[in-house]
């Protein structure tokens, strides 16, 4: 097993894509536990209002996934959707970091929705790219999938903890809660920009439709 795993890890495309998965999911999950507290602490939203805003983000994720699934077969490549989704996610997080300056709830909600849409688009591009890279025509498909799945799982757990811990630390060091949250959001934006760069280096150019035709069951399993 170790020899097979080492052989898979020695493949540069596999290594780069695993790193992309780790960085992008780290950024994605880091805002998961702090977005609603941010809305409550900085904008004075009630728990019901901040929860509704979280639902708006999840609705954006669904909209982004549907839009990417419909458009990707005709517009761009899997790599382009993953890269673009990460880049737009970074822009949305910068808007979140700056939103307390104007105190605009409308800007906050717009940034949250755009963040959701961009997250959904990058997820479709990432999952499709993962299917393309794992199906390389040899017996190591399962190992590649395992490497990518492990990178995702570790990053998701670490991101949630890191986002919450970084926010608490920033609030201890800075007087203004808005500045503390803004600093963390800016860090997440930097991670998404790094993920966009890594996605651009993966070399996956396939479109979604042929991929779905060849590996539809695997893609459904990954989405579940």
pLDDT of residue 168: 94
Contact 21, 155 (CB under 8 A): yes
H or E element: which one contains 112? helix 105-134
State how far the Cα of 187 lies from the Cα of 90, in Å rounded to an integer.
Answer: 9
Query: What is the torsional sign of CA 138, 141, 142, 148?
Result: positive
pLDDT of residue 138: 62
Contact 115, 93 (CB under 8 A): yes
pLDDT of residue 220: 37
State how far the Cα of 120 lies from the Cα of 114, in Å rounded to an integer.
Answer: 10
Contact 45, 179 (CB under 8 A): no
pLDDT (tens place) for every residue of the chain, 224 residues total: 677 677 777 778 888 889 999 999 999 999 988 999 999 999 999 999 999 998 999 999 999 999 998 988 888 788 899 999 999 999 999 999 999 998 889 999 999 999 999 999 999 999 888 887 776 556 677 778 888 888 999 999 999 999 999 999 999 999 899 999 999 999 999 999 999 999 888 755 544 444 444 444 443 344 33
pLDDT of residue 35: 94
pLDDT of residue 136: 57
Report the candidate in 23, 30, 28, 26 with the shortest Cα–Cα distance to residue 183.
30
pLDDT of residue 19: 92
State how far the Cα of 171 lies from the Cα of 117, in Å rounded to an integer.
Answer: 29
pLDDT of residue 9: 76
State how far the Cα of 196 lies from the Cα of 40, in Å rounded to an integer.
Answer: 30
pLDDT of residue 108: 93
Residue 22: phi and psi, rounded to 5, are: -65, -50
The pair of three-digit structure tokens given for residue 121, joined into one six-digit string: 């688009």
> Domain locations in the chain?
17-223
DSSP for residue 174: -
pLDDT of residue 75: 84
pLDDT of residue 223: 38
DSSP for residue 35: H
Contact 72, 208 (CB under 8 A): yes
Work out the burial of residue 141: count CB atoms within 10 Å of its CB; fewer than 13 is exposed, 13-18 middle, 19 or more buried.
middle
pTM: 0.85
Buried b (16+ CB within 10 A) or exposed e, 88-110: bbbbbbbbbbebbeeeeeebbbe
Domain 17-223 fold? Growth Hormone; Chain: A; (1.20.1250)
């Amino acid at each position: 097993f170790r020899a097979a795993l080492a052989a898979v890890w020695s493949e540069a495309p596999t290594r780069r894509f695993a790193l992309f998965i780790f960085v992008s999911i780290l950024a994605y999950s880091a805002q998961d536990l702090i977005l609603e507290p941010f809305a409550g602490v900085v904008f004075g939203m009630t728990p019901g209002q901040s929860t509704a805003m979280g639902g708006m983000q999840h609705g954006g994720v669904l909209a982004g996934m549907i839009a990417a699934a419909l458009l990707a077969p005709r517009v761009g490549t899997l790599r382009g959707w993953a890269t673009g989704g990460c880049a737009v996610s970074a822009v949305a997080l910068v808007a979140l970091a700056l939103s307390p300056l104007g105190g605009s709830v409308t800007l906050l909600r717009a940034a949250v929705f755009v963040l959701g849409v961009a997250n959904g688009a990058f997820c479709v591009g990432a999952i499709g790219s993962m299917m393309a890279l794992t199906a390389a025509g040899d017996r190591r498909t399962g190992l590649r999938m395992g490497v990518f799945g492990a990178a995702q799982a570790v990053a998701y757990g670490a991101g949630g903890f890191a986002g919450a811990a970084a926010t608490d630390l920033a609030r201890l060091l800075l007087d203004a809660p808005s500045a503390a949250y803004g600093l963390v959001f800016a860090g997440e934006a930097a991670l998404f920009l790094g993920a966009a760069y890594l996605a651009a280096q993966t070399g996956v150019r396939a479109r979604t439709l042929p991929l779905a035709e060849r590996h539809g069951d695997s893609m459904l399993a990954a989405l579940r």
